[in-house]
Structure 1
Amino acid sequence: MKTSLLLFIFSLSILTATAQDASVEQSTYGIQFGFLGFWGHNESKLSNSIALRSELGIDAGFYSNSFIGSSGFVLVPAITFEPRWYYNLNKRVSKSRRIDGNSGNFIAIKTTYHPDIVINSVANNLNFISDISIIPTWGIRRNVGKHFTYETGIGLGYIHYIKEENVYLSDSDGFAINLHLRIGYRF
């Protein structure tokens, strides 16, 4: 009886130690580049499987307006806060896969604000309208080597355009898509 109790306590301590190893990092910093922009980010630990990602970057896009015969390329700042739940950390540890740098699959709620600031120039008769979007997203992040990462994600959510007094919008909200593929460097 005493031996089985000691064996049970020993087994429980091994399982607890393994579960404690499967945790997001306390804090991690990095930069990422993608098809339409570049970003600097920090992820801070909220719990063993949840991290809050804060991000400051430049989003890029194309615009076209057939009414005034104008099209071009635009760069705008983006401020993002995104709680991420890394749901498969224990499974990755049990298969001896890496979880450093928060490498794993995640579900997030990406909240992004674009102010009405354009970094490059656009035609004088065009006005960029600020917006805020909330997009539930599924994604993965993996490490390559010690410092390099890649990340991909997809999500569908809501966007709200913040109307100015002198601007007419036929609709001030709608659907937003988050489709990203990024490579990065982790400090």
Structure 2
Amino acid sequence: MAEEDNQVEDQEQTASGKKKWLIMGGAGAVLVIIVVIVVWLMMGGEEPATTPQASSAEAPASQSAEETAQVGNALYVGMPRPFVFIVPGDARERTVQISVQLMVRGEQSEELTKRHIPLIEGTLHEVFSSSTADELRTAEGKQRIRELALQQVRSALESVTGQGLVEKVLFTGLVMQ
């Protein structure tokens, strides 16, 4: 009688174990299907990107050079190290550290920008070290410095490469002590 009870228990355990595996397998399959659908929806909505060369050939004559420079994927070139410099303040000099990334359009612009990082670093250091602590405290002052940095970097790159290359100068970190 004890043997029959053990056999019945073993059969029940085997049946419940199979049910658990079926449930887990079904849940895994549903999860995979959901992931596939989400990826398909995300990838299906994109239009093919046009290359800068193809779109500039199709650009109307009335379109300015600035508008044609906007074509292409936005890529970010990070400066290898933050800029550290001293600026005059109200009561005392302040030490400032700024981390910068440059936004460019297209892989060719990214490669040219990376090639000229020492020139860009020198230009940015001149701009940043000519600022004051008061300018760096306000949002308007930071914006003015970003715009001045963009103008100077574009000018420096144009003198070497014939192209401005950089679309934006972005501060990714700013610490003032």
- Which of 1 and 2 has higher RCO (CA within 8 Å, sep 6+)? 2
Structure with a larger share of its residues in strand? 1
User: TM-score higher than 0.5 here?
Assistant: no
The alignment's TM-score, normalised by the length of structure 1, stands at 0.29
Structure with a larger share of its residues in helix? 2
The alignment's TM-score, normalised by the length of structure 2, stands at 0.30
